[in-house]
Amino acid sequence: MTDGLEDAAHLAGVPDEFQRLWTPHRMAYIQAGPEPLREECPFCAAPAKSDADGLIVARGTAAYVLLNLFPYNSGHLLVCPYRHIATYDEATAEEVAEIGALTQTAMRVLRQVARCDGFNIGMNQGRVAGAGVDGHLHQHVVPRWATDANFFPIIAKTKALPQLLGEVRESVASAWPTG
């Protein structure tokens, strides 16, 4: 016994071959029920919240950056215009420029705090193209590591995320340049 905690071999239950992925941040989705984000656009609602509650890491003039609630990897960021538009061709020149600048900064910050080796960057435009929120333009910035390949996504449809969203938001927001 260490600090009042028993090791797993002495706990109740029958040991098995399964590993457990503890993801307490997912309780918000379980408790909210099916499709909790469909009542209002989550990308329109986020800027009205505090940065911590909205998972926002940086705010610009025409666009902002937040963590993805359903990340592919730890540090998966989204760059969104404040304006509710569905596709890239509807964006103004100012929105396009700021989305690009914020994406570049996101890459630099993620390299610094997550020490990633590469990125997937992209936009899914419309439901048929795979957009989960198809009414509000958003660009994905997904950090990748040379050593992050495993079989969880392939055989178990499971992503192992080593950090909670709040921890990731704090580290990225703290490293984001000001001014």
| CA–CA dist 4, 67 (Å, integer) | 36
Bridge partners (DSSP) listed for residue 142:
120
CB 115 within 8 A of CB 108: no
CATH number reported for the structural domain that contains residue 163 in this entry: 3.30.428.10
In a domain, residue 33? The reply is no
In the set 25, 76, 84, 138, the catalytic residue is: 138
**Crossing angle for the helix pair 165-175 and 93-114, nearest 10 degrees?**
110
In a domain, residue 25? The reply is no
Residue 164's domain comprises 49-175
Give the pLDDT score at 1. 43
Each residue's pLDDT, cut to its tens digit, for the chain (179 residues) gives 444 555 555 555 666 666 666 677 666 656 666 555 557 899 999 999 999 999 999 999 999 999 998 888 889 999 999 999 999 999 999 999 999 999 999 999 999 999 999 999 999 988 888 888 889 999 999 999 887 765 555 555 667 777 888 898 999 999 999 87
Active site residue 140: no
Total count of domains within the chain: 1
Full DSSP string of 96-120: HHHHHHHHHHHHHHHHHHH--SEEE
SS3 at position 50:
coil
pTM above 0.85, yes or no: no
Q: Which two tokens stand for residue 79?
A: 């760059």
CB 88 within 8 A of CB 103: no
Q: Which residues of 125-148 are buried (b: 16+ CB within 10 A; e: fewer)?
A: eeeeeebebbebbbbbbbbbeeee
| CA–CA dist 121, 143 (Å, integer) | 9
In a domain, residue 124? The reply is yes
